[in-house]
């Protein structure tokens, strides 16, 4: 069975049909740049470009980089335009896609669901936290495989700053930090998270998961296991499709 998944990020909108039996992309993903400002109309146009690229005519699952309540209403918009707040995202995307059924879920929650079902979190009990490092830091919290939705732990205060302003991939790029310097920031963030939640496992997702060999060995003093996401930066697309299939 295939469902289309779209992952909306602060810098890119990417999507592909997903093989739900394998938990992997059925075709190579297509990506367009997120418009700036990232308004609802602009992002919806980008989503349409991605879906139209494949000539897709079935259900579409989408992620959003913020809190999504009731399966549709956007409540936060840290890395996209503030006009998203209170938008009925499901109605917007369905209308822009010519009436195709659409579902919307938090981006990190989607990535986490995919990793727990098919990737690094498969079969792990206890508390598992997936963190996606990109434009911001997304989080997905699981207890014995059950998701606690919309946690937004990237916005915890760390040394007087919003954590994602110090430890996201964007912070690394903007500050021109070395991998070692950035890893020490990530280490402080993980230590803070460990103090609060005592997880058994941290899964590191987002684009940096492809480059884990450049920074994970610098992270010390964390009791939990720390592993890169196995689905890497495709986890959100897979999770979006899974969410659509279960809605």
Map the chain to HEC letters.
CEEEEEEECCCEEEEEEEECCCCEECCCCEEEECCCCCCHHHHHHHHHHHHHHCCCCCCEEEEECCCEECCCEECCCCCCCHHHCCCEHHHHHHHHCCCCCEEEEEHHHHHHHHHHHHCCCCCCCCEEEEEEECCCEEEEEEECCEEECCCCHHHCEECCEEHHHHHCHHHHHHCCCCHHHHHHHHHHHHHHHHHHHCCCEEEEECHHHHHHHHCHHHCCCCCCEEEECCCHHHHHHHHHHHHHHHC
Q: What is residue 159's predicted lDDT score, i.e. its pLDDT?
A: 87
Query: How far is CA 85 from its chain centroid?
Result: 18
Measured CA to CA, the distance from residue 200 to residue 125 in angstroms comes to 8
Question: pLDDT confidence of 126, banded at 50, 70, 90?
Answer: very high
pLDDT of residue 236: 96
Q: Band the pLDDT of 55: cuts 50, 70, 90.
A: very high
Res 32 pLDDT > 90: yes
Please provide the CATH number assigned to the domain covering 2-106: 3.30.420.40
In the predicted model, what is the mean pLDDT of residues 198-224?
A: 96
For residue 107, the model assigns a pLDDT of: 95
What is the percentage of the chain residues whose pLDDT exceeds 70? 100
% residues pLDDT > 90 (the chain): 96
Would you mind telling me the total number of residues written for the chain in this entry?
Answer: 247
Q: How far is CA 96 from the centre of its chain?
A: 22
236 and 111 in contact (C-beta within 8 Å)? yes
- Residue 116 is predicted with a pLDDT of 97
Domain(s) labelled CATH 3.30.420.40 in the chain stretch across 2-106, 110-234
Domain 110-234 superfamily per CATH: ATPase, nucleotide binding domain (3.30.420.40)
Q: How confident is the model at residue 78 (pLDDT cuts 50, 70, 90)?
A: confident
pTM: 0.94
Query: Across the chain, what does the average pLDDT equal?
Result: 96
**Mean pLDDT (whole number) for 81-92:** 98
CA atoms within 13 A on the CB side of 68: 20
Confidence grade of residue 22 (pLDDT, cut at 50, 70, 90):
very high
Q: How far is CA 9 from CA 135, 143, 167, 196, 209, in A?
A: 8, 26, 17, 27, 16
Output the pLDDT for position 186.
Answer: 98
pLDDT digits (tens, 9 = 90+) for 146-177: 999 999 999 999 889 999 999 999 999 999 99
């Amino acid at each position: 069975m295939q469902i289309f998944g779209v992952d909306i990020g602060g810098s890119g909108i990417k999507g592909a049909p997903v093989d739900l039996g394998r938990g992997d992309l059925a075709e190579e993903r297509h990506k367009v740049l997120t418009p700036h400002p990232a308004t609802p109309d602009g992002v919806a146009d980008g989503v349409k470009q991605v879906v139209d690229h494949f000539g897709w005519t079935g259900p579409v699952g989408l992620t959003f980089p913020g809190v999504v309540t009731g399966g549709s209403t956007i409540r936060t918009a840290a890395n996209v335009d503030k006009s998203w707040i209170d938008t009925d995202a499901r109605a917007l995307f369905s209308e822009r896609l010519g009436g195709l059924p659409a579902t919307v879920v938090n981006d990190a929650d989607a990535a986490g669901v995919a990793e727990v079902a098919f990737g690094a979190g498969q079969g792990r009990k206890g508390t598992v936290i997936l963190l996606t490092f990109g434009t911001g830091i997304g989080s997905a919290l699981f207890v014995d495989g059950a998701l606690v939705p919309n946690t937004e732990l990237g916005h915890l205060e760390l040394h007087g700053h919003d954590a994602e302003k110090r430890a996201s991939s964007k912070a690394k790029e903007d500050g021109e930090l070395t991998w070692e310097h950035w890893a020490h920031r990530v280490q402080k963030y993980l230590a803070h998270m460990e103090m609060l939640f005592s997880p058994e496992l941290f899964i590191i997702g987002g684009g940096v998961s492809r480059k884990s060999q450049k920074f994970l060995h610098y992270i010390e003093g964390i009791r939990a296991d720390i592993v890169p996401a196995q689905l890497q930066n495709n986890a959100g697309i897979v999770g979006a499709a899974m969410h659509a299939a279960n809605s």
